[in-house]
């Protein structure tokens, strides 16, 4: 395998891991919100795009979440 091919495989692997990570975070957020709502909490979710920079991956886009809950008020999801 040439160096160019190896680099391409590594980039695809990193992109796949980032996609997997982002999907797990989304699933965890959704499960957490469902649990709170099932317990009768009103939930509000704030999300904002962010850029994360890590070693091998370099910078990539993700979302930052702020989840608040209360027993009173309206449920709002953004």
Is 54 in contact with 74 (CB distance < 8 Å)? no
Q: What is the pTM of this model?
A: 0.69
Radius of gyration in angstroms for the set of CA atoms belonging to the chain, rounded to a whole number: 18
Sheet holding 58-70, edge to edge: 58-70, 42-54, 76-77
* Structural domain of 62: 3-77
Q: What is the pLDDT of residues 24-70, one digit of tens each?
A: 999 999 999 999 999 999 999 999 999 999 887 889 999 999 999 99
User: In the chain, how many domains are there?
Assistant: 1
Is the pLDDT score of 7 beyond 90? no
Nearest to 47 by CA among 32, 62, 60, 36: 62
Q: How far apart are CA 22 and CA 61, in angstroms?
A: 10
Q: Per the structure block, which two tokens stand in for 25?
A: 């975070």
pLDDT of residue 5: 53
């Amino acid at each position: 395998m040439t160096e160019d091919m190896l680099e391409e495989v590594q980039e695809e692997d990193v992109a796949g891991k980032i996609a997997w990570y982002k999907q797990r975070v989304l699933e965890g957020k959704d499960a957490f919100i469902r649990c709170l709502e099932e317990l009768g909490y009103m939930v509000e979710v704030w999300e904002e795009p962010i850029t994360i920079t890590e070693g091998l991956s370099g910078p990539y886009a993700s979302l930052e979440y702020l989840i608040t809950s209360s027993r009173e008020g309206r449920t709002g999801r953004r």
